[in-house]
Amino acid sequence: MQAIDQKLLRDFRRLWVQAIAIAMVLGCGVAILLTSIGMYDALSETRSAYYERNRFAHVFAHAKRAPVSLLSEISQIEGVLSVEARISGGAILDIPGRVRTAVGQILSYPEDAQPVLNVPLLVTGRFPDPVALDEIVVNAPFAEANGFTPGDSFSANLSGQKRELTIVGTALSPEFVYTIGPGALMPDNESFGIIWMSERAAAAAFDMTGAFNELALALATGVQPAPVIDTLDDLLEPYGGLGAYDRTDQVSDAFLDAELKQLRGMALILPPIFFAISGFLVSMVMSRIIALERSEIGLLKAIGYSDTEICLHYLMLAGLIAVVGVLVGWIAGTLLARTLAWQYAQFFNFPYVIFRVSYWVYAAAGLAALATTSLGASQAALKAARLAPAIAMQPPAPPNFKRSIIDRAMARMRLSQSTTMILRSLLRWPLRSFLTSLGLALAVASVIASLFMNDALDVIVDLAFFQTNRQDAILLFADDVPESALEDIRRLPGVLQAESQQFHAAKLRNGHLEKRVAVEARRPGADLSRVLDTDGNPLTAPPGGLLLSERLARQLGVEDGGLVEVEFLTGKRETHNLYVTGVVKQHLGLGAYVDLEYINSIFRQAPQFSTANVTLDDSQIEALHKEIKEIPRLTGIIEMTVNRRSFQDTIEENILVMNTVYIVIALLITVGVTYNAARIQLSERARELASLRILGFGRGEVSYILVGELMLIALIAQPFGWLIGAWIAQAMTNAFTSDLYAIPLVLKLHTFATGSLVVLCASFASAMVVRRRLDRLDLVAVMKTRE
């Protein structure tokens, strides 16, 4: 081993604390990159494998009642590989020992063989006997939440007939990786379940003998779904077709796709921040090392080492730091990605997880880390290589000093000598002070970027559950019922208020732009389910008018006053041109709202509704649930309190994990930046600070110079951190926005205050650790050091 290599190892051992501080920051960037890409790949590959093995359909369609004879014609559509027809319907469930009502989605299971598409994966037990009318299979999460095992039973209200159903098995399906009930915001496995029963039993329950109301199609490779959907819509239109759609609009897959989009956004936004900070820290440390080792560089050159060898020597020192950071990041990223992938698999009801992070991801993360540290060290290494031996053996020339207007201002302010020294040090090295401040600003930004989500979700919950949707429950009916039925609902136990509402599947068009949504119709002055403007005032769509959510209006390229073509897929199935009379903010879903009376008039129908919004007397909840279990055409009930609690619990759990990660990240950044800056300050100014001690300055006064300068830099960093944090928060809201939800940008004072407090406290703690070294300085030895 050559002498220069031995020096490399000695330098690394001497700087191991600083090296570890830098490596931890760098490791965070590598770990987050591996975690986000690892989870993305795991979910993406698991989804692909699950969909392929269990033959998840490409196109879905619903109809009122279509004959089985139509299937032969559908199978002849160009590009269609296979067709699966089935019977579907909703049912109110009466579970033993449970007061509150549960809801089930009934799906028929073929009698002669397993389904062609959307094949359920049996978890326990067996599938229903084709001739047994009371045997069912339920989805595994529903069974687990209610403690069901094969052999257990419960009652179901099937089209007005109460039937006792016996569970013979549990299963998972690629169609329900995200099992969410109609009208719900979050999965509630205890209150909503998927139920497979024999085709014969389902046909008898919903009067579908020789008919179907749901359809799934698999397409040949490379076939575009749009032409198939158009042809399918034409065939199903006489039978009450509600408009076919491809798998990207299938609810379960859409939620999963939105999560994958978030992971992609996290991989693009966060790792570059850590790599940039690491490069900056390496640059700081390497510049100081070279300044302190001028004489050693001169000696190395004098005994024959070339400029290239000197440059590579310092680049290799930076490379060793990068190697430690990469190893830490690889280990932490792999463990974190594997753990989170399993958690995601449980949340999305996958039967297995395919976790395999490609080697190129490890290589890319490692190369990014090495490139970052090499780039940070390159300027200092090139400076060392350019030093001539004779110049290197001499002390560096002192910096030029001119008395500026700032010095005269400080003199007039009669600042203490210690404070004046702090300010002069910042002005003497403005670039280094700015970069140190920028590093701490990024730490502040990482806290702000996590904490703003708390306030954003509070806004979503307040708007969704307390301002727009103020009902206690929503009653869902299989078909539209006469308006007179609202009086019967008002007479139910515990019902205080009841308001009617309709939902209509429709295609909205503006030129070549089209979007399939559910149009909501409500009466003017509705109090329980409202549409609000940006100031929180209720809005009502006038007859012939249409209110659109901002995201929907943007996707259709239409503004307030624009004309939209609305093709209704229900009722008379007519197309009408409606003017956009308002654009509203909405964070959940894509909303389109019209007047209920206007809908009844253009459909030329008597007043009717499909859902009822109600407020309840909590003391009579038990009596209400007992009563609604007997209502014939009721297919579901959504309790908004339960929905809200489920939404908040799920979100808070995710936010807690995210906040913890971001705050740990901020602490690592702060410690890495502050500790390295303090060590560099101490090594540069050791002789100066020792001189002050000899001249009579106390330990506190000398410590104030070191710690005060660092804390002043930290204070300067705060406004930059607030601006960068706001920018990152904005980037996150843009990256996480989808058709399903949009996260509002909500930045409050306490968020900025918390970010500043975390970073300032961590900065002070790091500076105090280095201050202990100042107390242990050997004044005589320091004063003997040659300048």
Kindly tell me if the per-residue pLDDT of 390 is higher than 50: yes
Could you report the per-residue pLDDT of 183-193, keeping only the tens digit for each? Answer: 776 778 888 89
**Degrees to nearest 5, angle at CA 468 with 466 and 474:** 85
Average pLDDT along the chain: 82
Question: In the structure, what pLDDT confidence band is assigned to residue 778 with cuts at 50, 70 and 90?
Answer: low
Could you report the per-residue pLDDT of 677-722, keeping only the tens digit for each? Answer: 777 777 766 667 777 777 677 777 777 777 888 888 889 999 999 9
Q: What pLDDT is attached to residue 215? A: 93
Query: Are 435 and 680 spatial neighbours (Cβ–Cβ below 8 Å)?
Result: no
Q: What pLDDT is attached to residue 784? A: 54
Q: What pLDDT is attached to residue 53? A: 92
Kindly tell me if the per-residue pLDDT of 200 is higher than 50: yes
DSSP string for residues in 402-439: ---HHHHHHHHHT--HHHHHHHHHHHHSHHHHHHHHHH
Can you tell me the distance from the alpha carbon of 469 to that of 558, in angstroms, rounded to the nearest whole number?
Answer: 26
Structural element, H or E, at residue 778: none
Can you tell me the distance from the alpha carbon of 54 to that of 350, in angstroms, rounded to the nearest whole number?
Answer: 12
DSSP 8-state code for residue 528: S
Pull the structure tokens for residue 611: 């859902």
- 3-class secondary-structure state, position 147: coil
Out of 127-131, 157-161, 521-525, pick the least confident. 157-161
Question: In the structure, what pLDDT confidence band is assigned to residue 213 with cuts at 50, 70 and 90?
Answer: very high
Kindly tell me if the per-residue pLDDT of 178 is higher than 60: yes
Could you report the per-residue pLDDT of 142-172, keeping only the tens digit for each? Answer: 999 899 999 999 988 887 788 899 999 999 9
Q: What pLDDT is attached to residue 211? A: 93
Could you report the per-residue pLDDT of 455-496, keeping only the tens digit for each? Answer: 888 888 888 778 888 888 888 887 788 888 888 888 888 889
Helices 749-775 and 640-694 cross at an angle (nearest 10°) of 30
Kindly tell me if the per-residue pLDDT of 225 is higher than 60: yes
Q: What pLDDT is attached to residue 731? A: 81
Neighbours of 298 (CB within 10 A): 18
Neighbours of 770 (CB within 10 A): 22
Q: What pLDDT is attached to residue 228? A: 92
582/85: higher pLDDT: 85
The percentage of residues in the chain with a pLDDT greater than 90, rounded to a whole number, is: 15
Q: What pLDDT is attached to residue 787? A: 47
Could you report the per-residue pLDDT of 418-469, keeping only the tens digit for each? Answer: 777 777 777 777 777 787 888 788 888 888 887 888 888 888 888 877 888 8
Query: Are 195 and 141 spatial neighbours (Cβ–Cβ below 8 Å)?
Result: no
- 3-class secondary-structure state, position 26: helix
Could you report the per-residue pLDDT of 639-669, keeping only the tens digit for each? Answer: 887 777 777 776 666 667 667 777 777 777 7
Q: What pLDDT is attached to residue 729? A: 86
Tell me the average pLDDT across 239-256: 86
Q: Give the pTM.
A: 0.76
Q: What pLDDT is attached to residue 197? A: 92
Out of 201-215, 313-327, 363-377, 390-404, pick the least confident. 390-404
Exposure string for 599-628, b = 16+ CB within 10 A, e = fewer: bbebbeeebbbbbbbbbbeeebbeebbebb
- Residue that is written with structure tokens 């159903």 in the block: 165
Kindly tell me if the per-residue pLDDT of 279 is higher than 50: yes
Q: What pLDDT is attached to residue 84? A: 92
Beta strands in 151-299 (DSSP E): 153-158, 161-172, 192-198, 211-219, 245-246
In this structure, what are the phi and psi dihedrals at residue 630, rounded to the nearest 5 degrees? -105, -5
- Residue that is written with structure tokens 């295609």 in the block: 507
The percentage of residues in the chain with a pLDDT greater than 70, rounded to a whole number, is: 91
Q: What pLDDT is attached to residue 170? A: 95
Can you tell me the distance from the alpha carbon of 108 to that of 214, in angstroms, rounded to the nearest whole number?
Answer: 10
- 3-class secondary-structure state, position 3: helix
Can you tell me the distance from the alpha carbon of 666 to that of 451, in angstroms, rounded to the nearest whole number?
Answer: 12
Could you report the per-residue pLDDT of 32-77, keeping only the tens digit for each? Answer: 888 878 888 888 888 899 999 999 999 999 998 999 999 999 999 9
Can you tell me the distance from the alpha carbon of 107 to that of 87, in angstroms, rounded to the nearest whole number?
Answer: 6
Pull the structure tokens for residue 617: 């007397």
Neighbours of 368 (CB within 10 A): 21
The closest of 464, 475, 452, 477 to 646, measured between CA atoms, is 464
- Residue that is written with structure tokens 């300055």 in the block: 697
In this structure, what are the phi and psi dihedrals at residue 157, rounded to the nearest 5 degrees? -90, 100
